[in-house]
Amino acid sequence: MRIGSRDSKLAILQAQEVINKFNIPCELITMKTTGDMILDKTLDKVGGKGLFVKELDRALMCGEVDLTVHSLKDVPMEQPEGFPIVAYSKREDARDVLVFPEGIDSLDIKKPIGCSSARRRVQLKNLFPNVEISPIRGNLQTRLKKLDSGEYGALVLAAAGLHRLGLKNRISRYFSTDEILPAAGQGILAIQGRLNSFTDMINRVNDVESELCALAERAYVNELGGGCFAPIAAYATINDGQIALRVMYSSDDESKKLYMSDSASIYEAKQLGIELAKKIKQEVRSWEREK
């Protein structure tokens, strides 16, 4: 099988993680995506996180690869027709973390905290109200180099990426999911492919609990019509046949934030996400009436 991946070190490790579960010979085909090449602008200014999957989608549809591996949080809500997400990996740690420059053990509040998403930014304002929050682009190693060179006082990154790269030692602090609610799908790998192909192989990879959590989280985002850059978050957990979902929504001007949570049977995972989004939209309409 030919497996398509971005050519960053983290993406390759993630693809290899999936390949190891297939337990058959596979060829890894890597490529740069538009999102990897445009580094002088924030992603919301150049087309969103879909830029990280566009070239891989094309390779899949043209038959150049059989499956592609992505970080689920980078995958747009809609996939090309006939090429859905066919499997979800077991979830890594979904939390965000704080990373200081190498050799530093405290935050220099005179320097900005670097983060790559509106979701993180609006939640960090509560935790660090007197510190500037600035955007940062590039793969994980590039961001760490910018941090260590003195451009930033700290970075906020996904724990999962640092874990997979063997860089747990760089983590200064884990944020609880109450402090910073994760992005929908954070810590989960998505395998995308042709519908009804390689079913036996895919079943070796798919983690049902991750799939159910992903369905709930992404249903919430999709129902809101939120792209990857809207200041929204969703995180689901499963216990004793019940799925619990906690979500966040921020107003466009980031002056108001709203959190909600609910639970349901695991068989209603997707509907749970949809219903929470509808409740959020009702609250947002009330904000509009108050203006």
Q: Where are the alpha helices (DSSP H) in 84-233?
A: 118-127, 140-148, 159-164, 199-205, 208-224
How far the first Cα of the chain sits from its last, in Å, is 56
- Nearest residue to 103 (alpha-carbon basis) of 172, 14, 7, 29: 172
Q: Which amino acid is at 175?
A: F
Q: Is 74 a catalytic residue?
A: yes
Our CA angle for 42, 48, 51, nearest 5°, is: 105
The three-state secondary structure class of 8 is coil
Separation CA 53–CA 88 (nearest Å): 16
Active-site residue among 74, 148, 240, 253? 74
Query: Which amino acids are annotated catalytic?
Result: 74
